[in-house]
Structure 1
Amino acid sequence: MDEIYDVIVLGTGLTECILSGLFSAHGKKVLHLDRNSFYGGETASLNLTNLYKMFYPSREPPSHLGANRDWNVDLVPKFTMANGKLVKIILHTETVSNNLEWKCVHGSFVMQVSAGGFFSKSKAKVHKVPATDIEALKSDLMGLLEKRRCKKFFKFVQDYDPANSTTYKGMDLKKQPFLYLITVFGLEKNTVDFICHAIALYTNDECLQRPCVEVMMKIKLYMDSIGLYGDSPFLYPIYGIGGIAEGFSRLSAIYGGTYMLNKSIDEIIFNEDGKVIGVRSGEDIARSPIILCDPSYAVSLGKVRSIGKVIRAICIIDHYIPDTNHIPSGQIIIPQRQTGRRNDIFISYMSNSHCVCPKGYYIAICSTSVETDTPENELQPAFALLGEIMTTFIKVYDNFEPNEDGSRDNLFISKSYDSTSHFETACEDVISLYERIMGERLNLETTLKPFTQDS
């Protein structure tokens, strides 16, 4: 450690690993440290031993769950949009893209509560999310007349081009809120639910007051992602999302980056002007004019603030989730209005189709933003959909963001992973941090050359 580096990175979460890989590939001398014994931080994929060690340290994994090596359990349940920013960052780095294997997630669903009739009670049911005008006509989410209105809406969004005013149909889409567009097409509340929450992927109804163009571009991202690599807009790596962080770690290493796990960080050192100059671990000191870290390394310094909490429950089950057509992987979104909450509930589930658990088992991860003093109770609608659960691993996480942008003290801090079901917001943080630290825009239209001895 007793050297001078261009950048020191603390924590091996996805954000930090992407950036250390990019820094190294662009010629920076990088030291990357983590207090944990595994890569990935909060975006790690753990085997059974490490999972139980984290949540139930006094218990051994039960033998009936099978071999330790067959389990790769994510701590953060997020998928990747096929046409999203994370895919573009990975394709920018040919070395990483060549060493990751992906498969489509098989389906996306939304929960609706049907009203009870004279002889029946209200019932929560899961429906497949339509994402095109053709699928809208086949969906059982809507009645016949609503299907026609929804088809017209999807066709309008699909044809929309920000650079072509003739596609605006005479509407001021940059200033009008999305609620205005919903009103123009006369869409019903349940239709608005799956459009806003299961397609645009907002976590609450505040999106109705966002500009039309903003929401429409998120819908277009979803629609454009379908068909790129399969019938689903979502991708997921074989062996779990922890492999993405490891892929960028390898990228950094082959370009000369230095990695140390199980390394305590006892102090981030500042000079008399308040700027970072290095880190101390025991008696060892590594020096650098720039430090990037995840929020957990900056809490004691008062450099971050909590903007809420997220609860995540990892559930192991041994049966298909009802109403999902027996597909082996998918996402279920429970919109806030369906449960009377302020935020959506998400269920991301995987199986042996993506090599994250043995055949016959499923890993379903339920998550939401915390609203009460009893966060576990807030996930009850998700637990009810899953049916009988064999084992759960539950944790409440603080959602941190930095107090400053890092330009004053050169301590750059990433944001916590939010309750969204994808990595788009995390990648926006990656791009922002890269530009602040490197002083230039990250050009994703180019491809980094693979490493050679002359690199």
Structure 2
Amino acid sequence: MGLFEKRRFRKFLVYVANFDENDPRTFEGVDPKKTTMRDVYKKFDLGQDVIDFTGHALALYRTDDYLDQPCQETINRIKLYSESLARYDIYVCMISSAHNVAAQGKYIAIVSTTVETGDPEREIKPALDLLEPIEQKFVSISDLFAPTDLGTESQIFISRTYDATTHFETTCDDIKDIYKRMMGSEFDFEEMKRKKNDIYGEQEQQ
């Protein structure tokens, strides 16, 4: 996603976050009961990749039929997804035949959260309700572990357990933390860029 596409997508997400079906002032010229989602995407000049991501990963639609339907339901679905992250820490990741992991017309959804009660499945019910009908469901609970020793003395550097997030941000942070504990300094991404440029430069000269 390029810089300008990110800006347009951000404007779209801000619009969705502010949207209130009971407050016409938030519609910004859109009639939620008549304007199609396809026209809403056009309004924000979003590219096809962003449209696919929004429809299938955020709104959790299995087909593109929603594009020509009134936009209110889709906007509410996107709001529900973002609110689930902000309020309930429920994460949903969807993969399908497009990723060569499921049969045509089928998809695999992974719903995760950090368990806080004695009824874990009930905690993810808002996400499961969005995914209905579900053909098969598998529930598993894993313990979370973290190193008790930084490794500076023992020279044994241990990573943390994968958490409930699906975007690998915390995993990347853990990798950077391990590097800092091992090397005694932060990982220098700019130095890697310089080395990459040097390598490519040498190849061009050859």
TM-score, normalisation: structure 1: 0.29
In structure 1, the residue matched to 2:50 is 231
Give 1:326 shift.
Answer: 2.1
- Please, which of 66, 87, 97 is the counterpart of residue 352 of structure 1? 97
Pairing of 1:126-275 with structure 2 (within 5 A): 131-133=9-11, 136-137=14-15, 141-142=19-20, 143-146=23-26, 230-231=49-50
% identical aligned pairs: 31
With over 3 angstroms needed to count, the CA separation of the structure-2 counterparts of 1:133 and 1:360, relative to structure 1, is closer
Matched, 1:333 2:81: yes
1:410 to 155, 175, 180: 155
Provide the rounded CA distance (Å) in 2 between the counterparts of 1:418 and 1:427.
12
**Using the alignment, how far apart are the partners of 2:18 and 2:61 within structure 1?**
13
Judged with a 3 Å threshold, the aligned counterparts in structure 2 of structure 1 residues 433 and 322 are, in CA distance, closer, same or farther, namely: closer
Total equivalences in the alignment: 154
SS at match of 1:392: coil
Residues 235-257 of structure 1 show CA distances to partners (whole Å, capped at 9, x for unaligned) of xxxxxxxxxxxxxxxxxxxxxxx
Task: Provide the rounded CA distance (Å) in 2 between the counterparts of 1:431 and 1:233.
Answer: 31
Q: Which runs of 5+ in 2 are unaligned?
A: 3-7, 29-45, 65-77, 201-206
| Superposition deviation, residue 356 in structure 1 | 1.6
1:442 aligned residue: 187
State the alpha-carbon separation in 1 of the partners of residues 135 and 107 from structure 2: 10
* Structure 1, gaps ≥5 residues long: 1-81, 84-129, 149-225, 235-320, 451-455
Please give the alpha-carbon distance, in whole angstroms, between the structure 2 residues aligned to 1:324 and 1:139.
19
Matched to 1:141, the amino acid is F
Asked if 1:324 is matched to 2:143, the reply is no
The match for 2:138 is 393
Report the Cα distance in structure 2 between the residues aligned to 1:427 and 1:322, rounded to whole angstroms: 26
Other structure's SS at 1:381 match: helix
> In structure 2, do the counterparts of structure 1 residues 377 and 352 end up closer, same or farther at CA, with 3 Å as the change threshold?
same
C-alpha distance 353-425 of structure 1, shift in aligned 2 (>3 A) = same
Q: Distance in 1 between matches of 2:109 and 2:182?
A: 37
Aligned 8 A contact 1:322 1:386 in 2: no
Report the secondary structure of 1:395's partner residue: coil
Of Structure 1 and Structure 2, the greater strand share is in: 1
- Provide the secondary structure at the position in 1 that maps to 2:171: helix
Amino acid at match of 1:363: I
Q: What is the identity, as a one-letter code, of the residue corresponding to 2:50?
A: D
Greater fraction of residues in helix: 2
- Amino acid in structure 1 at the alignment position of 2:94: Y
Are residues 378 and 357 of structure 1, via their aligned partners in 2, closer, same or farther at CA, if it must alter by over 3 Å? same
Residue 364 of structure 1 and its aligned partner are, at CA, apart by: 0.7
The structure with higher relative contact order (CA 8 Å, sep 6+) is: 1
The match for 1:371 is 116
Encode CA deviations 1:422-454: one digit per residue, 9 max, x unaligned. Answer: 11111111112112213443222325559xxxx
Secondary structure at the aligned position of 1:377 is classed as helix
Counterparts of 1:424 and 1:374, CA distance in 2: 27
Mapped partners of 1:413, 1:365: distance in 2 = 26
What's the counterpart of residue 382 of structure 1? 127
| C-alpha distance in 2 between matches for 1:369 and 1:356 | 26
Give the SS at the match of 2:133: coil
Instruction: State the secondary structure of the residue aligned to 2:103.
Output: coil
The offset of 1:413, in angstroms, is: 1.1
Q: 1:140 to 1:386 in 2, by over 3 A?
A: farther
**2:25 maps to amino acid:** L
- Closer, same or farther: CA 419–322 of 1 in aligned 2, 3 Å: closer
Q: Does the 8 A contact of 2:90 with 2:124 survive in 1? A: yes
Aligned-residue RMSD, C-alpha: 4.0
